[in-house]
Amino acid sequence: MSTKLRAAIIVVSDTASKDALTDKCIPALREVFQQDGGDRWETAQTKIIADDVSAIQNAITGFTDGADSANLVVTSGGTGFAQKDVTPEVSSRRPVIMQLHSHLLHCIYTYLLGVDM
């Protein structure tokens, strides 16, 4: 059994879902985990999907439900926001998020911004 934490990377991109060679997110995120993760993370689980509500829900819950679930799921989406983009809305509501902990998000933002409390 691995002692490393497992991160799953989901790229939500219509372009990359048709041609995986166009994706630059997975290699970049793997590099971040490798260089800045203190040798605590493995990123074996990756998926590239189209920007579709059910595809996003299925990808996230596929990585979080079950015996081999990820400790962290990171979503990244292509080149920016477009009218069709639904990743933020889908990944922040049921059935993907069963319980939202806004205080935890506040703590993460505070830490990332370097705010002393």
Class in CATH terms, 5-113: alpha beta
What average pLDDT score do residues 5-11 get? 94
Residue 68 has pLDDT above 70, yes or no: yes
pLDDT confidence of residue 107 = 77
User: Distance from first CA to last CA of the chain, Å, rounded?
Assistant: 38
> Of 17, 18, 67, 66, nearest to 46 (Cα)?
17
* pLDDT score for 59: 93
pLDDT per position as a tens digit, 22-65: 999 999 999 999 988 888 999 989 999 998 888 988 999 999 88
Indicate whether 96 pLDDT > 70: no
Is the pTM value of this prediction over 0.85? no
Q: Is 102 exposed, middle or buried (0-12, 13-18, 19+ CB in 10 A)?
A: exposed
Taking the C-alpha atoms of residue 63 and residue 60, their distance in angstroms, rounded to an integer, is 5
102 or 29, higher pLDDT = 29
- Residue ranges of domains in the chain: 5-113
Q: What is the pLDDT of residue 9?
A: 95
Question: Over the chain, what is the mean pLDDT?
Answer: 83
Q: Identify the band that residue 19 occupies on the pLDDT scale cut at 50, 70 and 90.
A: very high
SS3 97: coil
